[in-house]
Structure 1
Amino acid sequence: MKEILKRLFNHEELTREEACSLMKNITGEKYNNTQIASLLTVFQMRGITVEELIGFREALLSTRVNVDLNEYKPIDIVGTGGDGKNTFNISTCACFVVAGAGYKVAKHGNYGSTSVSGASNVMEEHGVKFTNDNSRLRKSMEECGMVYMHAPLFNPAMKTVASVRKELGVRSIFNLLGPLVNPCIPAYQLLGVADLTLMRLYTNTLQRLGIGFAVVNNLDGYDEISLTDEFKVMTNRYETICKPSDIGFTIARREELYGGNTICEAAEIFDNVLDNCATKAQTECVLINASFAIQAIEPQLPIEECVAKARESLESGRAMQTLKKFIEINQ
């Protein structure tokens, strides 16, 4: 570790193989907390390269609980978190809209850390029991097109750094890795980032990994398309900045996306959206994220057609039917 730290202090970069080996040593508890904290601090100050990020990802995935969903070619819809906006569960809502439109979704998530309700919180509020049993997950995918994977059940290596991350109390490379270590290694991904500087890093990484993707950011600092301002989209095929009005949506006010003060309140908003009785701002925010997720799967489709597919899923009731079936299967 001493030699690695010296190199990093000198702004040297690690190869993919070196990064992979380093992460395996970290999660294998070969370093003490002081050494790990120093390492995390260096990367937070210096930044991380695509090669290093891919190497770290490989190490974490090598210790995961494996999930075989390759034949379904699913999409994951996830944000990096940390935007401090306490929005309702927009990405998780979008998952059910996309699944209701006939696509396969494999959502990887956890409890909220910077918001009242994370994906796992809202799932538990609906009575969902988490599992890492492959047969149960495949049953859920077969019968409703939607799988939810509670991260702690699939990434045991992350427990080894939980204490030092808590003691540091700041974002680290592990926050960057979270959206990249879905245990089923999905074929597609809609990834929301709160910081524009991360867009290029994730775009280059996902391109290298061969994943069909859309990386999105609202220019006022949301880690999803919030419609509160212009937003940027980067995909395998294009890069653009859009106004909500460019694709038929209206500007939302920040307070309209607030996720409530309790998990119960967040779950009520979640249900209202999928039951197509939420506010216009809440509904449109979910629809636009679902639309770019659909386009990540079918990049040949114009975004207007993807919006129509997402809207039809919601207005026909299929999104809510997907949620109800999912809850029934996963209780």
Structure 2
Amino acid sequence: MSAEDTAKAVDDIGVAFLFAPQYHQGVRHAMPVRQTLKTRTIFNILGPLINPARPNIELMGVYDESLVAPIAETMLQMNMKRAAVVHGSGLDEVAIHGSTTVAEIKDGKIEHYSLTAEDFGLETYPLEALKGGTPDENRAIVTNLLSGKGTPAQEAAVAANVALLMRLFGHEDLKANAQQAIDAMRSGKAMTLVEQLAARG
């Protein structure tokens, strides 16, 4: 999708996919090196921070808990309006199998706190319940999930992350946000958006 088509998708349906190498020259040249190394590099952290769209609201997951505070400090220096950096019990996202460490930027300050599934009004599920598979199996999982046919654990994992993102946009009630995300998946609205985006090429 061209930059113009991507912008139109955001305007028309409120969602788009940005493939980093297409929009950022530096990432384009670094990508072959990353693929050769087959391990984490500085680009796992740097990528979201050098987003050429320069969003002023962002939810970013980091693979190591020790990175939460320094990345949040960096985002604060970048004058982000509101953002959160998370690490969820070994995952670079909000966790439903354990606690999530959060550093949230709001009103020019950083607040540090932790979240559990209970804070979202969700059940706790073992990490094994979210295990993926082959690319085809993963595609089926996502399709089912967005079509309202996901497992309770899969729904909860998506809902928790969406709920925190919604908080960054001013919807403060995490439990209400999580339920809204679950409702969107179960209604099929989420899949409809994906289909509309896919139809644009």
Normalised by the size of structure 2, how large is the TM-score? 0.87
* Partner of residue 266, structure 1: 138
Q: Does 1:236 align with 2:105?
A: yes
RMSD: 2.0
* Partner of residue 92, structure 2: 223
8 Å contact from structure 2 (residues 20, 28) kept in 1: no
Aligned length: 196
8 Å contact from structure 2 (residues 149, 186) kept in 1: no
8 Å contact from structure 1 (residues 226, 252) kept in 2: no
Change in Cα spacing, 1:170 to 1:268, as seen in structure 2 (3 Å) is closer
2:67 counterpart (192, 198, 201):
198
Q: Does 1:321 align with 2:192?
A: yes
Alignment-mate amino acid for residue 187 of structure 2: S
1:28-66 deviation digits (Å, cap 9, x = unpaired):
xxxxxxxxxxxxxxxxxxxxxxxxxxxxxxxxxxxxxxx
1:174-212 deviation digits (Å, cap 9, x = unpaired):
222112222211231111112111001111111111222
Change in Cα spacing, 1:303 to 1:175, as seen in structure 2 (3 Å) is same
Structure 1 gap ranges (5+): 1-130
1:56-78 deviation digits (Å, cap 9, x = unpaired):
xxxxxxxxxxxxxxxxxxxxxxx
Deviation, structure 1 residue 268: 0.6
- Separation (CA, whole Å) in 1 of partners of 2:155 and 2:61: 18
- Separation (CA, whole Å) in 2 of partners of 1:170 and 1:198: 17
- How does 1:1-331 map onto structure 2 within 5 Å? 131=1, 133-162=2-31, 165=34, 170-211=39-80, 212-219=82-89, 221-237=90-106, 238-260=111-133, 262-298=134-170, 301-329=172-200, 331=201
- Separation (CA, whole Å) in 1 of partners of 2:11 and 2:32: 38
Alignment-mate amino acid for residue 215 of structure 1: V
* Partner of residue 59, structure 1: none
- Separation (CA, whole Å) in 1 of partners of 2:65 and 2:122: 22
Q: Which structure has the greater CA radius of gyration?
A: 1
Alignment-mate amino acid for residue 105 of structure 2: N
8 Å contact from structure 1 (residues 217, 232) kept in 2: yes
8 Å contact from structure 2 (residues 61, 85) kept in 1: yes
Which segments of structure 1 move beyond 6 Å, counting only runs of 4 or more? none
- Separation (CA, whole Å) in 1 of partners of 2:93 and 2:21: 23
3-state SS, counterpart of residue 199 of structure 2: helix
Change in Cα spacing, 1:316 to 1:167, as seen in structure 2 (3 Å) is closer
State the structure with bigger RCO (CA 8 A, min sep 6), 1 or 2: 1
8 Å contact from structure 2 (residues 147, 187) kept in 1: no
8 Å contact from structure 2 (residues 155, 182) kept in 1: no
Change in Cα spacing, 1:178 to 1:162, as seen in structure 2 (3 Å) is same
Change in Cα spacing, 1:243 to 1:168, as seen in structure 2 (3 Å) is closer
Deviation, structure 1 residue 222: 0.7
8 Å contact from structure 2 (residues 64, 87) kept in 1: yes
3-state SS, counterpart of residue 17 of structure 2: strand
Query: What is the identity percentage for the equivalent residue pairs of Structure 1 and Structure 2?
Result: 27
Deviation, structure 1 residue 163: 5.6
3-state SS, counterpart of residue 18 of structure 2: strand
Change in Cα spacing, 1:324 to 1:200, as seen in structure 2 (3 Å) is same
Deviation, structure 1 residue 141: 1.0
1:76-134 deviation digits (Å, cap 9, x = unpaired):
xxxxxxxxxxxxxxxxxxxxxxxxxxxxxxxxxxxxxxxxxxxxxxxxxxxxxxx2x23
Normalised by the size of structure 1, how large is the TM-score? 0.55
1:255-277 deviation digits (Å, cap 9, x = unpaired):
211121x2111111011111111
